[in-house]
């Protein structure tokens, strides 16, 4: 059954809005099951072997993904763990705070609006949770090949986690262990035609959600001039019933998004070095 | 009513000091206190993240003390306290101390200027006067650098300020180059394709600016390829150390190899024999063309007959 859009809110205001796109069925093979599990868990999925062994009260965590291994011991009586999609900014190292998605150019009419779907790379976080709710990140794995890029000039640009995506008018089926869907709302606030071929998002503002088949996020891009646009993440899933993911990401305290104490002020990134 | 107030303010408390003087004295102290607090706040905000916390603390306390001293001296004039002797003595001491600590003051001023100009930050990888390493701390008088081999180097701020500083990580991305030679018998186009494929797979080789691989020179021993790669400043060394070997392995897989330095020695008899055989086979080419098209071109030959 093809994925169909039941309701869109393209004409709604900028306020948080209810969106719903039907789940449909993935025709891309098996889907990865995210959620909360007990320590008797073990999985062998698309080359990822992950599981816990009980060794007299100490759980031995083992992970292997195409020869890339990690092992750890966990002492817990009542703990559980989560497998959740997380922002793709941790592997191979925490290099940047920004994600850049390049896509086929879209030209938008003056004062026009477009809602498109792009794919975003994801990583999978393994979180431990104690009885008191305290969480700890145990491991991160990914099925994606990380690639970085530079948006702007070397002197005043930003390093970005690069991803290339097709443009979809409707949410496509994606492999939920590799990629998520980004619902991008583009508003052209100018009185001229504007072309957009990339979006750079400050990841702290981008909240991921997941359900059985899909990982999603939403963002908004407002074109201010022909070469300048503001991009901000919107904290909402693409359909109801999705669960919000835990965030691993800790922003650098010296970014312009924070005050002197390091508190996050704003998550809007101004793309002032072109959008193509 | 105003007259009564004026009378109260003009009434003497002791000596020539009136109530008005006391009020102004207190007001000046309050203004001094507020000014010192405000300047401290601005300084903390300005210097935060630019230098070490203890240096910020010392700077703020020093400037606050100076404001207090100046404020108290100005306020004391309201109490008709003659501080001219103290000021003269202070001036003389100041000049003496100034001469004695000329270098120290020079370093201090340079330290303050460095905090504002910020050519380097803590953690940056820099090169100053031949010293290469990471900035460990920026103090008021000196800057501490840990060299790549783990040595501690203290650079006086005056020296740092007047020197040429190369900051390796000031910009978010930087470029590094390789020169790779392949044999004349290898296909340069194939080598470029294989090299680009390896670069594309490396996460720290930036997508934009895109890497550039091209034939840079036809050298004495082989075709010289130039490889230019942009990488995040903090990770360029990782990329540089990993990529060269990976490129080499990829080239080997394509049967492309690095040329060994070689010298082809031509003997006159051989030349003549080859030429004769070519001519006998029937060709329209000149002698120069025949020899020039040969891989073992006579330009490489030892002209001295043995």
- End-to-end, the C-alpha distance of chain B in Å comes to 125
Task: Give the structural domain span for B226.
Answer: 173-253
Predicted confidence at residue B122, as pLDDT, reads 86
Chain A interface mutation, best of B47, B49, B200, B208, highest count of A Cβ atoms under 10 Å? B208
User: Do B91 and B44 share a structural domain?
Assistant: yes
B110 domain-assigned = no
Question: Shortest Cα distance from B205 to chain A (angstroms)?
Answer: 7
Mean pLDDT of B88-95: 80
B305 domain-assigned = no
- Binned at pLDDT 50, 70 and 90, residue B98 comes out as confident
Chain B neighbors of A157, CB-CB under 8 A = 172-173
User: Do B161 and B184 share a structural domain?
Assistant: no
Instruction: Give the span between the Cα atoms of B228 and B214, in whole angstroms.
Output: 9
B32 domain-assigned = yes
B295 or B108, which is more confident: B108
CA distances from B35 to A150, B18, B31, B68 (A): 44, 26, 6, 9
Predicted confidence at residue A227, as pLDDT, reads 87
Predicted confidence at residue B212, as pLDDT, reads 95
User: Do B96 and B20 share a structural domain?
Assistant: yes
Predicted confidence at residue A160, as pLDDT, reads 94
pLDDT of residue B86 exceeding 90: no
CA angle A67/B232/A159 to nearest 5° reads 100
B259 domain-assigned = no
φ, ψ of residue B75 to 5 degrees: the values are -65, -35
Contacts of A186 (CB under 8 A, 6+ apart): A106, A108, A113, A114, A115, A116, A196, A220, A221, A222, A223
Total structural domains within chain B = 4
pLDDT of residue B298 exceeding 80: no
Chain B neighbors of A253, CB-CB under 8 A = 49
**pLDDT tens for each residue of A81-99:** 889 999 888 888 888 989 9
Chain B neighbors of A151, CB-CB under 8 A = 208
Predicted confidence at residue A15, as pLDDT, reads 38
User: Do B249 and B177 share a structural domain?
Assistant: yes
Q: Report cis status (omega within 30 of 0) of the bond before B233.
A: no
Instruction: Give the span between the Cα atoms of B257 and B199, in whole angstroms.
Output: 18
User: Do B280 and B221 share a structural domain?
Assistant: no
φ, ψ of residue B65 to 5 degrees: the values are -65, -40
Whether residue B207 and residue A149 make contact (CB cut-off 8 A), yes or no, is: yes
CATH number at residue B162: 2.30.30.60
- In 3D, which of B156, B171, B244 has the Cα closest to residue B205? B244
CATH number at residue B222: 3.30.70.100
Predicted confidence at residue A195, as pLDDT, reads 93
pLDDT of residue B272 exceeding 70: no
- Binned at pLDDT 50, 70 and 90, residue B300 comes out as very low
B79 domain-assigned = yes
B204 or A68, which is more confident: B204
Average pLDDT, chain B: 82
A229 neighbors A270 (Cβ within 8 angstroms) = yes
**pLDDT tens for each residue of B128-141:** 988 999 999 888 88
Predicted confidence at residue A105, as pLDDT, reads 94
B120 or B266, which is more confident: B120
Domain edges within chain A: 30-271
B123 or B99, which is more confident: B123
B2 domain-assigned = no
Chain A neighbors of B207, CB-CB under 8 A = 147-149, 162
Interface of B with A (CB under 8 A): 45, 48-49, 171-174, 201, 203-204, 206-209, 230, 232, 234-235
B153 domain-assigned = yes
Predicted confidence at residue B224, as pLDDT, reads 94
**pLDDT tens for each residue of B205-223:** 999 999 999 999 998 888 9
User: Do B184 and B163 share a structural domain?
Assistant: no
Quote the pTM value.
Answer: 0.72
Predicted confidence at residue B107, as pLDDT, reads 81
Mean pLDDT of B38-61: 76
B246 domain-assigned = yes
Per-residue pLDDT of chain A in tens (276 residues, 90 and over written 9): 333 322 223 333 333 444 556 555 555 678 888 988 888 888 888 888 998 888 887 889 999 988 888 899 989 888 888 899 998 888 888 889 899 999 999 999 999 999 999 999 999 999 998 888 888 889 999 998 999 999 999 888 999 999 999 999 999 988 999 999 999 999 999 999 999 999 999 887 788 999 988 999 999 999 998 889 999 999 889 988 899 888 776 655 555 666 555 566 678 888 988 888
């Amino acid at each position: 059954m093809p994925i169909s859009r039941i309701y869109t809110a393209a004409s709604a205001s900028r306020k948080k809005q209810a969106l719903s796109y039907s789940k449909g069925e993935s025709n891309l093979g098996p889907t990865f099951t995210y959620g909360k599990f007990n320590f008797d868990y073990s999985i062998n999925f698309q080359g990822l072997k992950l599981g816990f062994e009980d060794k007299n009260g100490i759980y031995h965590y083992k992970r292997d993904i195409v020869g890339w291994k990690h092992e750890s011991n966990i002492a817990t009586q009542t703990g559980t763990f989560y497998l959740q999609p997380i922002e793709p900014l941790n592997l191979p190292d925490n290099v940047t705070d920004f994600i850049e998605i390049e896509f086929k150019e879209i030209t938008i009419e003056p004062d026009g609006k477009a809602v498109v779907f792009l794919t975003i790379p994801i990583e999978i976080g393994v979180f431990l949770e104690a009885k008191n709710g305290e969480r700890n990140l145990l491991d991160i794995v990914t099925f994606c090949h990380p690639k970085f890029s530079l948006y702007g000039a070397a002197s005043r640009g930003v390093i970005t986690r690069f991803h290339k995506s097709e443009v979809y008018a409707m949410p496509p089926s994606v492999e939920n262990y590799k990629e998520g869907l980004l619902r991008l709302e583009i508003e052209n606030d100018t009185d001229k035609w504007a072309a957009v071929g990339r979006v750079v998002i400050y990841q702290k503002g981008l909240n991921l959600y997941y359900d059985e088949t899909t990982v999603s996020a939403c963002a908004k891009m407002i074109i201010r001039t022909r070469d300048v646009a503001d991009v901000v993440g919107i904290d909402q899933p693409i359909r109801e019933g999705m669960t919000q993911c835990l965030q691993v990401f800790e922003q650098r305290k010296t970014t312009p998004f924070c005050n002197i104490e390091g508190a996050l002020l704003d998550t809007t990134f101004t793309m002032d070095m072109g959008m193509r | 009513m105003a007259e009564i107030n004026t009378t109260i303010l003009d009434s003497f408390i002791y000596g020539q000091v009136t109530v008005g003087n006391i009020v102004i004295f207190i007001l000046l102290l309050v203004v001094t206190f507020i000014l010192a607090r405000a300047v401290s706040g601005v300084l903390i905000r300005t210097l935060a993240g630019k230098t070490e916390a203890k240096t910020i603390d010392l700077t703020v306390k020093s400037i606050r003390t100076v404001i207090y001293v100046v404020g108290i001296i100005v306020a004391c004039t309201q109490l008709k306290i003659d501080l001219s002797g103290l000021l003269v003595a202070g001036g003389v001491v100041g000049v003496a101390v100034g001469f004695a600590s000329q270098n120290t003051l020079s370093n201090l001023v340079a330290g303050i200027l460095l905090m504002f100009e910020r050519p380097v930050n803590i953690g940056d990888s820099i090169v100053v006067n031949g010293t290469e390493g990471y900035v460990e701390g920026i103090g008021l008088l000196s800057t501490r650098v840990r060299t790549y081999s783990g040595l501690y180097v203290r650079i006086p701020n005056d020296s740092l300020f007047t020197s040429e500083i190369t900051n390796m990580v000031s910009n978010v991305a930087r470029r590094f180059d390789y020169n790779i030679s392949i044999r004349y018998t290898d296909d340069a186009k194939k080598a470029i394709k294989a090299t680009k494929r390896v670069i594309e797979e490396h996460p720290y080789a930036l997508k934009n600016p895109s890497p550039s691989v091209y034939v840079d020179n036809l050298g004495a021993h082989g075709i010289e390829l130039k490889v230019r790669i942009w990488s995040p400043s903090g990770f360029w060394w990782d990329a540089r150390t990993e990529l060269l070997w990976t490129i080499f392995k990829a080239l080997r897989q394509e049967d492309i190899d690095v040329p060994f330095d070689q010298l082809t020695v031509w003997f006159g008899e051989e030349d003549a024999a080859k030429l004769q055989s070519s001519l006998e086979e029937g060709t329209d080419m000149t002698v120069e063309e025949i020899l020039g098209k040969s891989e073992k071109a006579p330009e490489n030959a030892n002209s001295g007959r043995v």
